[in-house]
Structure 1
Amino acid sequence: MATKIRLQRHGKKGKPFYHVVVADSRAPRDGKFIERIGSYNPNTNPATIILDFDKALDWVNKGAQPTDTARTILSTKGVLYKKHLQGGVKKGAFDDAKAEELFANWSEGNNAKIEGKKTGLAQTKEEAKKAALTAEAKKNADKAAAIAAKNAPVAEEVPAAEEAETEAPASEETEG
């Protein structure tokens, strides 16, 4: 029986949510599966991946073939790198302690990269929010100035019209 590590689609239209499952390669995409080993939510930024690391590593070591997207997920979580390091230990390239040290260093770097992306997105969101607030404040100030300008000339025109009426009869009296 050929097994695959693949995604099983759930969620509503336009909002996919996937379960990472181990299934027989002949089973339908959303059909019967052997074991559920995690979930993947691409709707969040960065995407949320929950994976049972030990189960995934066990299935990869047993020969389960991941699909392209599942391979990316396993690679992101370090399952494939851990398998690679275990192969190096079997061949005698280095010992278990060195393999664990290499994996720990890689894991720290990967977590730092993910946290950096999260903080970068949060900063970008804050900057966009501040820019929107300043733009809105400027727009409100422009509106207030336009209203003040519109109301101010109307108040000045009324006295100017009264002055014109008072000057007109005075000029008629001097002529007549």
Structure 2
Amino acid sequence: MAVKIRLKRLGKVRVPQYRIVVVDSRKKRDGRVLEEIGKYHPKEDPSYIDVVSERAQYWLGVGAQPTEAVAAILKITGDWQKFKGEPGAEGTLRHAEPKRDKLEIFNEALKEAQSEPRGDATTKKAAKKSAEAAAPEANVTPAAETPEGATEQAEAAETTTDAERPDADKQA
């Protein structure tokens, strides 16, 4: 039986994904296979190539003939050089960088958001409230700078405002 190592196409219309398979040469492209020895996804960057080297070496050793595309893939992984006994058996396969953990990305964004100063208020009401909150703080003077008479006047003013508040609640 004439055995070939070739690609079996899977995937959607514009997103091809292939399986590297060992198949009888008389079978159709996506027909019944003897063994699946790898995967190839050409649309990813870099292309995803996964070959079970031990099984590829076995099938090459018993006489399976790779197609041109599979031979190129085997050269990238270094399996063809290993089979022929040529230098460069480590191959030239590139690996994609591992993706950053989502938790790490979130924590980094959180730190950036906390370290940045807050901007001005976005609405007029919020701007007015922040201005009112800042105004009383500006009027407060330290106790060491205020004369004793002024302190007594301030306390008297506070007691009068406390007395006026219940009346204001009744009117509302």
Show the 5 A alignment for 1:25-104: 25-85=25-85
Residue type of the alignment partner of 1:73: I
Q: Distance in 1 between matches of 2:4 and 2:81?
A: 18
Deviation digits for residues 84-109 of structure 1 (CA, Å, limit 9, x no counterpart): 11xx8xxxxxxxxxxxxx56xx52x7
SS at match of 1:110: coil
Q: How does 1:1-176 map to 2 (within 5 A)?
A: 1-85=1-85, 106-107=89-90, 110=92, 114=94
Task: Quote the RMSD (CA, aligned, Å).
Answer: 1.9
Larger Rg: 2
TM-score by length of 1: 0.51
Gaps of 5+ in 1: 89-101, 120-176
Q: 1:83, CA displacement in angstroms?
A: 1.1
Give runs of ≥4 in structure 1 deviating > 2 Å: none
Higher relative helix content: 1
The alpha carbon displacement at 1:45 in A equals 1.2
Give the count of matched residue pairs. 97
Aligned partners of 1:110 and 1:16: how far apart in 2? Answer: 22
Rounded to whole Å, the distance in 2 between the matches of 1:66 and 1:12 is 25
Cα drift, residue 46 of structure 1: 1.3
**Structure 1 residues 115-156: Cα deviation after superposition (integer angstroms, max 9, x where no partner):** 6xx67xxxxxxxxxxxxxxxxxxxxxxxxxxxxxxxxxxxxx
Structure 2 alignment gaps of length 5 or more: 98-172
Secondary structure of the residue aligned to 2:36 is: strand
